[in-house]
Amino acid sequence: MAQRQMQSPPLPVDESKIIAAWHSPEPCLMCAQAMGIRASQLENAWRRLKLEGKLPDRPRHRPEAVSSENLDGRKHVNAYGEDPLLAALREQHPEKAPQ
């Protein structure tokens, strides 16, 4: 009995736009909205292009996870690896030494 090979459904938008969105610094949701598709459709298209070898087999750069700035523009950690907000909190509420 011959097996039928299932064909993948067509990509929701042009392949070049999907690849460009992968390399974009914008979050997935914003890329998908700009293309007029759902974020899940874009993620599925990326997954498919990874399997086809057209995208790198690694996680996508996520600026929201890598960014060193908070939404209000303050840096979480300075160049020396110190967190100024945490330092101020520790000054106000020092840790008690265990007895």
Q: Residue 45: what pLDDT?
A: 93
Question: How sure is the predictor about 91, in pLDDT bands with cuts at 50, 70 and 90?
Answer: confident
Q: Do residues 21 and 42 make contact, with C-beta atoms less than 8 angstroms apart?
A: yes
Predicted structure pTM score = 0.56
Give the Å distances, CA to CA, from 99 to 62, 91, 93, 96.
Answer: 44, 21, 18, 9
How far apart are the C-alpha atoms of 15 and 34, rounded to whole Å?
15
Instruction: Express each pLDDT in 8-67 by its tens digit.
Output: 778 888 999 999 999 988 899 999 999 999 999 999 999 999 999 999 888 887 544 444
